[in-house]
Chains A and B, each alone.
Chain A
Amino acid sequence: MNLSLELMAPEIIVLATGFLILISDLFQKSKNENKASSILAIVGIMLAACSGLFLTDAPKETLGGRFGLDQLDLILKEILLLSAGLVIMISPAAMKEKSEQKITHFSEFFTVILFTLSGMMFLVSSRDLVTLYVSLELATIPLFALTAWTKTDKSGEAGVKYLIMGAIGSAFLLYGLGFIYSITGDLGLKAIQTTLTASQLTNPSLYLAGALILAGVGFKLTLFPFHMWAPDAYQGAPTPITAFLSVASKGTGLILAIQLLLKVMGFLLQPFVFGIAILATLTMTLGNLVAVRQNNLKRFMAYSSISQAGYLLMGFMTTKPEGLTAMVFYMLVYALTNLAAFGVLIVHIHQTGQEDITSLRGISKANPLLALSLMIALFGLAGIPPLAGFVGKFFLFSIAAQVGYYWLVAVAALNSTVSLYYYLRLVRQMYIEPENPQSQKLQISPMSILGLGIATVGSVVAGLIPYIYDGILATSSQWLQVWLKI
């Protein structure tokens, strides 16, 4: 067997860094000293990201075809590395704090984040059903632990809720995978796809499998009606984890969808398009309408991210390269924008100990740059030009128009208006409402500033420079040619 491990370099580096942090923790004086481990984690992630750049002569396969790597995989991995890196940069702000959700044991905390990250990266590269499922569990199980990290009632409750719902989601997915195996008798994605395409199966169980997999994906992407875990998990989890969850879970969902729905069953998409449109409509509408009434910042972000998933789903309505590109691009933009928002919220929540949206009052006077950063992020999430959030949404909406679903464009655009209403509620608290007399100057470490700065600037610039979109488009049209022969 040809074992070319260099294809796995990014994953190996990430895992090695995880273990290294765990060991280095033994030599540290205080359990709460986090500087060394966070720097170590970031260096590891940067190394992994750089090593990815040397693998651009993909596509290649190893481990007997169970692990593959192509250009699109690389792009997805770089996005994941970037998000995880940003989370690690902004999370130490949760160290010194008033909030009951103080995070302890930072070294283990980073280690677990890195394990999740490696799971997601393996997921991207897995080329058969077993590897895929195992990587998925590697990506999700640490998230349950992270959610329950602070050992408070709320955090524990959130962790258990997330665990149960996540397990149900996995069960759905596994059931679907079982159907696929029983129909085709094969485990390799390529083989399954060839069998399915060649036989032009119209077996009803195939549609059932598609629906079950969609449900499994729905749990990860927080699609209606599988979104219920998100608000509780977001609220209960320590804020850095909420930030990581909001990106990691969506990323996992998107990767799963690309791997299974697009790669393996892409030719089956046509009859599902209407259903996807309905699902997108319900998800974004529900997320938006409920977010209007939220007063807890983290719950608010949860519903906002549910509605974002609704927009993201619009990219699945076609097998043309524009659809895939729009989704991957939006994932990048969403990660940057959401992490910029969370970067501010982590500092705010953990230093004031307040999670209510009214606690943001006066932040624009005491901390003008933080407020500006949050405002840009919120406008980005609402899709206001010239921010990247707008460009990303524009491409997604364009997919719906491309397949002739003009009503969906209208629904989505009106939903954006609703979402603008609640994002402006936050802006209003920050800028317009009379100041909170207790509002204080928030302390922020250089590392957090850097992370926040990258996220904020990224969320502006990604929409102005065309190269990112063009690059993803070229890659994904190539990818679709290879996999779907389109």
Chain B
Amino acid sequence: MGILSLLIFIPFFTAMGVVFAPSPKSVRWVSLIGTGIHLILTFFVTIEYFNLASADSQLAIQQLSTKLYMVEKFDWFKSFGIQYYLGVDGISMSMVVLTSIIIFTGVLASWNVENRSKEFFALLLVLVTGVFGVFLSFDLFLFFMFYEVAVLPMYLLIGIWGTGPKEYSAMKLTLMLMVGSALLLVGILALFHASGLHTFDLIQLANVKFPKDFQNWVFPTIFIGFGILGALYPFHTWSPDGHASAPTAVSMLHAGVLMKLGGYGALRIAVYLLPEGAKEWGLFFMGLTTINILYGSLGAIKQKDLKYFTAYSSVSHCGMVLFGVATLNLMGFKGAVLQMFSHGIMTGLFFGLIGMVYGRTHTRIIPEMGGLVKVMPWLGVAFYIGGLASLGLPSLSGFVAESQIFMGGFFGNQWHSVTAMRVLTVLSTMSIVVTAVYVLRGLGTVFLGPIQDKHHEELTDATFTEKLTTGILIFTMFVVGIYPRVLVDMIEPAIYPILNRLNM
């Protein structure tokens, strides 16, 4: 078993360990050790990746097809051209790092799950297995398989351990995402049969020049298929309900990682394989994502529930990811991947903190809280750091990503009207102002001023695990914000092939 297979299946083995764990109490330790090992392994794989990739970093600029490292390739359904094909490039490496961090902190954040904890951790880990699988597989069939494994456990996770109208939210989320994968399935089968290569190998398919008419209908099919998971307007409606009803760790994983599968797929499959379609539809999707960005941030202003508040802000930020993808230039793509990383960490922090605050106050309604920073300074400050990252404060990760995306949008490309792109970009940047309004107002109400509720005076600050959880996430945010080259060096070489395919 190669190192990448290990990265995928460690969570799965951990899930098996959880199932056979002796007592419900030991379950969380098993999960923590499993995900901890995974985090360490990810660290070493990242270093190894840099070692391997630094050698060809100069070559990358002219590269036409993605260079993969640590490849594992076996025939699976040979007569159907299906392979077990794993590999890693810069984009997937950064996503793996993100996921590994989020699942580790997610396990920490679910430290207090008592109800059926065995099933909870097992499902959470199975879900993450699917996520790693998606990021590391370069065979479309395998990709799709892992994709659905990542989506479906969500139903049970929200349905059993959620709050509020959980059955409704869980069903809505699952069905909408499944409609997305139905579209994807059509797209994948169309690619398979139209290529005539009888293979699902993504790298080989990328060398095929599909006819323009074909690209014109397959591109939107696949893009919308992924867009549904990436909360593309008007298919985002599952996201606020789903995130609001989900338990803490699930919201963290879902907003932090799972929604990124949408952006990742849109870039990796839709744009990479179907460049002509992307040129045809780019502006249209830029328009849709502009609505995304504005609608999400304006929607967040009106929210009274902290989780809905964050969920709408997620819609806005995930819109930026797809906006970056739709700009079809280097900065846009780079910004999109950076934003996936940055938003993943940021939103993970947000949902983690909301869970911690809710665990104390037993309310998530913003007007019912106030002055909480007096009793829980650590959580309050952490919340503010997250908020400032979300409104794009320099030195935090959000700034790096958003500036790249908007610069990409303003820079324009040769296939679309630059004026139109600039207008859309300017409109989108307005969301930063709106974000500042809702973040500062919302957090101000919750944490500043006099304490509203007398019961809140006896609340305590973060425990050690909670400090560890938030600390890891905040540290990551600062690292990326102050020294973005760690990520940029990783991502950039992987973006050139996609760009070069567009320019061909």
Residues of A within 8 A of B (CB): 379, 384-386, 390-391, 394-395, 397-398, 401-402, 406, 409-410, 413-414, 416-417, 420-421, 424, 427-428, 431-432, 466, 469-470, 473-474
Q: Which residue of B lies closest to A321 (CB)?
A: B79
Contact A427 B148 (CB under 8 A): no
0 or 1 for each of B261-298: is its CB under 8 Å from A? (1 = yes):
00000000000000000000000000000000000000
Contact A416 B193 (CB under 8 A): no
0 or 1 for each of B121-146: is its CB under 8 Å from A? (1 = yes):
00000000000000000000100111
Measured in the bound complex, the distance between the Cα atoms of B181 and A413 in whole Å is: 8
Distance in angstroms from B275 CB to nearest chain A CB is: 21
Stretch at the interface among B37-45, B153-161, B330-338: B153-161
Measured in the bound complex, the distance between the Cα atoms of B79 and A474 in whole Å is: 9
Q: Which residues of A contact B178 (CB under 8 A)?
A: 416-417, 420
Contact A470 B79 (CB under 8 A): yes
Q: Which of A390, A413, A414, A431 touches B160 (beta carbons < 8 Å)? A: A431
Measured in the bound complex, the distance between the Cα atoms of B148 and A402 in whole Å is: 23
Measured in the bound complex, the distance between the Cα atoms of B174 and A101 in whole Å is: 37
Contact B79 A401 (CB under 8 A): no
Contact A431 B159 (CB under 8 A): yes
Contact B193 A402 (CB under 8 A): yes
Q: Which of A390, A398, A416 touches B145 (beta carbons < 8 Å)? A: A390
Select the residue from A402, A466, A473 with max chain B CB neighbours within 10 A.
Answer: A466
Measured in the bound complex, the distance between the Cα atoms of B141 and A304 in whole Å is: 26
Distance in angstroms from B398 CB to nearest chain A CB is: 34
The interface size of chain B toward A, counting residues with CB under 8 Å, comes to 35
Q: Which residues of A contact B149 (CB under 8 A)?
A: 385-386
Distance in angstroms from B145 CB to nearest chain A CB is: 4
B158-178 with Cβ < 8 A to chain A: 159-160, 166-167, 170-171, 174-175, 178
Q: Which residues of A contact B77 (CB under 8 A)?
A: 391, 466, 469-470
| Interface assignment of B186: CB less than 8 Å from any CB of chain A | yes
Select the residue from B75, B144, B182, B190 with max chain A CB neighbours within 10 A.
Answer: B182
Q: Which residues of A contact B167 (CB under 8 A)?
A: 428, 432
Contact A379 B152 (CB under 8 A): yes
Contact B159 A398 (CB under 8 A): no
| Interface assignment of B189: CB less than 8 Å from any CB of chain A | yes
A to B CB contacts below 8 Å, 12 in the list: A384-B152, A385-B148, A390-B145, A394-B141, A395-B80, A398-B192, A401-B186, A414-B179, A421-B175, A466-B76, A469-B77, A469-B80
Q: Which residue of A lies closest to B145 (CB)?
A: A385
Measured in the bound complex, the distance between the Cα atoms of B202 and A37 in whole Å is: 55
| Interface assignment of B346: CB less than 8 Å from any CB of chain A | no
Contact A410 B186 (CB under 8 A): yes
Q: Which residues of A contact B75 (CB under 8 A)?
A: 466
Q: Which residue of B lies closest to A383 (CB)?
A: B148
Q: Which of A397, A424, A466 touches B155 (beta carbons < 8 Å)? A: A424
Measured in the bound complex, the distance between the Cα atoms of B179 and A385 in whole Å is: 15
Contact B193 A398 (CB under 8 A): yes
Knowing A431-B159, A469-B77 are in contact, say whether A413-B186 is a contact too (CB < 8 A). yes
Contact A417 B145 (CB under 8 A): no
| Binding site secondary structure of chain A | helix
Q: Which of B79, B159, B171, B193 touches A473 (beta carbons < 8 Å)? A: B79
| Interface assignment of B78: CB less than 8 Å from any CB of chain A | yes
Measured in the bound complex, the distance between the Cα atoms of B472 and A292 in whole Å is: 46
Closest 6 CB pairs of A and B: A413-B182, A401-B189, A385-B145, A417-B178, A432-B159, A466-B77
Knowing A410-B182, A417-B179, A424-B171 are in contact, say whether A470-B193 is a contact too (CB < 8 A). no
Measured in the bound complex, the distance between the Cα atoms of B76 and A474 in whole Å is: 16
Q: Which residues of A contact B145 (CB under 8 A)?
A: 385-386, 390
Distance in angstroms from A368 CB to nearest chain B CB is: 9
Select the residue from B75, B166, B181 with max chain A CB neighbours within 10 A.
Answer: B181
Q: Which residues of A contact B148 (CB under 8 A)?
A: 384-385, 390
Contact B185 A413 (CB under 8 A): yes
Measured in the bound complex, the distance between the Cα atoms of B79 and A410 in whole Å is: 24
Q: Which residues of B contact A394 (CB under 8 A)?
A: 141, 185
Q: Which of B82, B144, B160, B185 touches A432 (beta carbons < 8 Å)? A: B160
| Binding site secondary structure of chain B | helix
Contact A466 B78 (CB under 8 A): yes
| Interface assignment of B183: CB less than 8 Å from any CB of chain A | yes
Contact A401 B192 (CB under 8 A): yes
0 or 1 for each of B62-104: is its CB under 8 Å from A? (1 = yes):
0000000000000111111010000000000000000000000
Distance in angstroms from B479 CB to nearest chain A CB is: 35
Select the residue from B145, B160, B190 with max chain A CB neighbours within 10 A.
Answer: B145
Q: Which of B156, B179, B186 touches A409 (beta carbons < 8 Å)? A: B186
Measured in the bound complex, the distance between the Cα atoms of B190 and A391 in whole Å is: 17
Distance in angstroms from A291 CB to nearest chain B CB is: 15
Distance in angstroms from B274 CB to nearest chain A CB is: 15
Measured in the bound complex, the distance between the Cα atoms of B175 and A424 in whole Å is: 10
Measured in the bound complex, the distance between the Cα atoms of B146 and A207 in whole Å is: 45
Q: Which residues of A contact B186 (CB under 8 A)?
A: 401, 406, 409-410, 413
Contact A409 B160 (CB under 8 A): no
Measured in the bound complex, the distance between the Cα atoms of B174 and A394 in whole Å is: 20
Q: Which residues of B contact A466 (CB under 8 A)?
A: 75-79, 82
Q: Which residues of A contact B152 (CB under 8 A)?
A: 379, 384
Measured in the bound complex, the distance between the Cα atoms of B126 and A384 in whole Å is: 14
Knowing A421-B175, A469-B79 are in contact, say whether A397-B189 is a contact too (CB < 8 A). yes
Measured in the bound complex, the distance between the Cα atoms of B77 and A379 in whole Å is: 22
Q: Which residues of A contact B192 (CB under 8 A)?
A: 398, 401
Measured in the bound complex, the distance between the Cα atoms of B80 and A466 in whole Å is: 10
Contact A401 B144 (CB under 8 A): no
Measured in the bound complex, the distance between the Cα atoms of B141 and A390 in whole Å is: 11
Measured in the bound complex, the distance between the Cα atoms of B151 and A386 in whole Å is: 12
Q: Which residue of A lies closest to B180 (CB)?
A: A417
Distance in angstroms from A387 CB to nearest chain B CB is: 10
Q: Which residues of B contact A402 (CB under 8 A)?
A: 193
Measured in the bound complex, the distance between the Cα atoms of B156 and A469 in whole Å is: 31
Measured in the bound complex, the distance between the Cα atoms of B193 and A428 in whole Å is: 37
Q: Which residues of A contact B160 (CB under 8 A)?
A: 431-432
Measured in the bound complex, the distance between the Cα atoms of B76 and A469 in whole Å is: 11
Knowing that A401-B189, A466-B77, A469-B80 touch, tell me 20 more A-B residue pairs with CB under 8 angstroms: A385-B145, A394-B141, A397-B185, A401-B190, A401-B192, A401-B193, A402-B193, A406-B189, A410-B182, A414-B179, A421-B175, A424-B174, A428-B167, A428-B171, A431-B159, A432-B156, A466-B76, A466-B79, A469-B77, A470-B78
Measured in the bound complex, the distance between the Cα atoms of B152 and A395 in whole Å is: 21
Measured in the bound complex, the distance between the Cα atoms of B152 and A379 in whole Å is: 10
Distance in angstroms from A289 CB to nearest chain B CB is: 14
Measured in the bound complex, the distance between the Cα atoms of B494 and A382 in whole Å is: 36
Q: Which residues of A contact B156 (CB under 8 A)?
A: 427, 431-432
Q: Which residues of B contact A432 (CB under 8 A)?
A: 156, 159-160, 166-167, 170
Q: Which residues of B contact A406 (CB under 8 A)?
A: 186, 189-190
Distance in angstroms from A398 CB to nearest chain B CB is: 5
Q: Which residue of B lies closest to A400 (CB)?
A: B189
Measured in the bound complex, the distance between the Cα atoms of B148 and A37 in whole Å is: 44
Contact B79 A417 (CB under 8 A): no
Q: Which residue of B lies closest to A379 (CB)?
A: B152
0 or 1 for each of B412-438: is its CB under 8 Å from A? (1 = yes):
000000000000000000000000000
Q: Which residues of A contact B146 (CB under 8 A)?
A: 385
Measured in the bound complex, the distance between the Cα atoms of B75 and A417 in whole Å is: 30
Distance in angstroms from A285 CB to nearest chain B CB is: 14
Contact A428 B159 (CB under 8 A): yes
Distance in angstroms from A400 CB to nearest chain B CB is: 8
Measured in the bound complex, the distance between the Cα atoms of B406 and A183 in whole Å is: 73
Contact A409 B185 (CB under 8 A): yes
Measured in the bound complex, the distance between the Cα atoms of B155 and A384 in whole Å is: 13
Q: Which of A398, A417, A420, A469 touches B189 (beta carbons < 8 Å)? A: A398
Measured in the bound complex, the distance between the Cα atoms of B146 and A385 in whole Å is: 8
Q: Which residues of A contact B159 (CB under 8 A)?
A: 428, 431-432
Knowing A386-B145, A424-B171 are in contact, say whether A414-B78 is a contact too (CB < 8 A). no
